Structures are given as C-alpha cells and as structure tokens.
Structure 1
Amino acid sequence: MTASDARAGQVDRRRLLRGMGGALLLPLLPGCGFGPEPLPDPWRPGSRLDAVVPTIDPYLDITNTNTGDRVALRFFDGRAYDRRAIRQLDWVFRDWRQNRSPEIDPRIYWALAALADAARRDGHSGQISLLSGYRTKRTNRMLQRKGAGAASNSYHTRRRAADIRLDGIPSEQVSDYAEWLQIGGVGWYAGSNFTHIDSGPIRTWSA
C-alpha cells in the first residue's frame, strides 16, 4: 500500500459529508440510464460519479488562469449535449501556447460539474480556476525541459485531464471528494494548492 493509498483510506467520510455538504447526500442511482446520448468511453459503469450523474447540475463557471478566458454555461440540457457550450468549454481548455483546442473528454466536464455542484450546495460559488487543460505533446515536452513536473505520458496530452482550484474549497478537500467520486486519477499538489483530475484508471497521489 502506498502512502497516498493510506491517506485516502484514512479520510474521515463524516468530515467530507460536513465539508462538502449536500454533495455526499446526492442519491446514488446504480444502473440508472442517462438520456438518449450516451457518454463515450472511458465511462466506467459502477463508479460513484456515474451513479450521481443524473442528479448533477451540468453547469460550469470556469476561468482559465493563463488566458483570462471565462465561460459560465450549462453543457447538457437533460436530453443532449449543447454542442455550442461544449465548443466553448473546449476553447477554454485549449493549449493556449499552441492555440489548439481539440474535443475534451466529457467525463472531465461531468467530474468538474459534480465538484462545482457540491461546492454550491455548501454555500460556495462553485467557480473553477483552470490551471492546465489540454496540452500538445510539444507543450508537454517544453514543460518537461523546464522541470515543471509534466509526465511524458500525461493525460493532459490525451484531452483527459485538468488541473484546478475550486473557489473557497481547500485543495485537499477537493482531492478527497474527487477520490470519493472515483473520477479516475486524482493528484493533490499541496505546495501549489491545486488538484489534478483525469479520466484514466482510478489511482491517487500527492506531491
């Protein structure tokens, strides 16, 4: 067992229940379908995120801290994706150095919506600061040369990751809730005060 596994296992779920308020009170709906437009792979039936998707408000208020771009919108209307909203989100998540904005894995948007919805239920704004979204391989190599901690196989280069801060919520608490949701990969970066999430295999770490 790794240190991060031990930390995750020691999380006080009652504290999370209090800290993220109504989020953990969302009803779990195992096996519940979700409209006519299925979410693409890698969607993992049985995860807590999948279970609560039907109860999440798919509203995101996100600011890219590098560009200042901000969007506040609802990307799903209860039946289908709002393609214009998705394109706007993809633009905010773009590699701003290379001006590339491919389609981001929608699971990332649902994960962020779950976190933001939980924050709003607890009386916070739910506003998200995006530190890093999509990266081209060229940008990723540049960050590696600078010693910025970018992994060679980063999920950022696969359109499946986000580094975030959530207004008013300590990064450790954001990470704990993301772990509980079984989003995929969750990294807590205490020194830089941000949380990494990705839609890869379920795993956790801290730095």
Structure 2
Amino acid sequence: MTEHEPAPTGLSRRGILRAFAATAVTAAPTFASAAGFLRGAGDVRRVKMYNGRTGESMDTIYWIEGDYIKDALKEINAFMRDWRRNEVKTIDTRTIDILAASHNLLDTSEPYMLLSGYRSPATNAMLRSRSGGVAKNSLHMKGQAADLRLGNRSIYQMAKAAQSCQAGGVGIYRGSNFVHMDCGAVRSWKG
C-alpha cells in the first residue's frame, strides 16, 4: 500500500487515527499522553521546527528505542530559548512529545514555526504588559509550553491533533493565528 492508496479495510484516515488513538491511550492508562501516540511511530521520535525571528531551523531525532538523546535535547533547548534575552532553559520532554505526536497526527512534512518556547520571567512580564493574553505564571517560564503555527494546517486542525493526545493544555489564538501546547493539566481554551 502506498501513502496515496486507501487503507484496505475501507476505513477513512480519520477512522484509522481514532482507532490508533484509542489503542494508544488504552496501552498507556497511567500516561495517557503524547507518548502513547508516538509508539506507532516506531522506536524513533523526531521534531521539526523553524524560527522566523532567529532564522534557525531544526530537524532532529530526540528519542530512539526508549531513550532520550542528550545532545538532541540540548539542541531543542537552545532552539526553544528565549531569543530576546538569549536565555536557555531545559524544555520538558513531555512538551516535546506533545509537539511531536501532534505533528505526526497532522500528517505533514512542513516543520512547525516556533513563535515562543521558553520565556524568561523578564520577557514574560514585558509581553504581559503589552497583551492581556499572556499568563502571569505562564508555563513558558518553566520550559513547558510552545506557541506554534503551520502554513498548511489550520489552527483548528493543530488544536484537534494536540487535544487528541489528552496530555496537556491547548489554546487557540485565532487573532494571532497560533496554537499554544503545554504539558500542564489537560484543558483547552480560545484566546
């Protein structure tokens, strides 16, 4: 079967994803999160992003056969740094897994555009003074959140993929055309 042929069972792609999602969540009842969705990807996890503000791109495999790769995580930490202050913080691997799982579910090769990863308290305060949509105790300051965009998928498609992971917070920001994903409590909102 090629990627363009329908599944032999007659199920739609959406039906296959639902079945896969149910299986993944059942297989991991104590960690019903993005990690379950990544199991179907084999023993490799990958994240692809670019940052229009810094001009940097990243396409890295960060997990192989049950182990996170330290050098790849360092690369992700540096890429997702607070670019305004050039401060790096360890990005929570649960957040990285949510980003990767959501991207896999979207079935696109386009990398995410990273709008915001880690934010220093100073940057968060500055952004908060300019916008009511910035949380005082933002998970961005803990390295547990990312604001993302894709050119070939709508923010609603992105949000549905992230919500299907049942692994954290998902916010839709229609006016700014991005989706917030974090590894905090499971919740969703529109900003």
Settle same-fold status: TM greater than 0.5: yes
Deviations 1:117-154 (A, max 9, x none): 1233xxx3241110000001010011111226211011
2:90 maps to which of 103, 113, 135: 103
Q: Which runs of 5+ in 2 are unaligned?
A: 1-10
1:70 maps to which of 46, 49, 57: 57
1:53 maps to which of 30, 38, 44: 38
TM-score (normalizing by structure 1): 0.77
Q: How many residues align?
A: 177
Matched, 1:165 2:159: no
By how many angstroms is 1:26 displaced? 2.9
Q: One-letter code of the match for 1:184?
A: G
Q: Corresponding residue for 2:20?
A: 26
Q: Which runs of 5+ in 1 are unaligned?
A: 1-16, 33-43
Cα RMSD, aligned residues only:
2.3
By how many angstroms is 1:99 displaced? 0.9
CA spacing shift, 1:87–1:23, aligned 2, 3 Å: farther
Matched, 1:188 2:182: no
By how many angstroms is 1:60 displaced? 1.3
Deviations 1:146-193 (A, max 9, x none): 226211011101110000013411101111221121121110111111
Q: Corresponding residue for 2:101?
A: 114
CA spacing shift, 1:19–1:138, aligned 2, 3 Å: farther
195-204 vs 164-173, greater mean Cα deviation: 164-173
Between the aligned residues of both structures, percent identity stands at 32
By how many angstroms is 1:102 displaced? 1.2
Deviations 1:43-88 (A, max 9, x none): x824243432322351111112321111111101113111111111
Whether the 8 Å CA contact 2:35–2:101 is kept in 1: the answer is: no
TM-score (normalizing by structure 2): 0.83
CA spacing shift, 1:116–1:143, aligned 2, 3 Å: same
Whether the 8 Å CA contact 1:94–1:101 is kept in 2: the answer is: yes
Matched, 1:200 2:184: yes
CA spacing shift, 1:145–1:20, aligned 2, 3 Å: farther
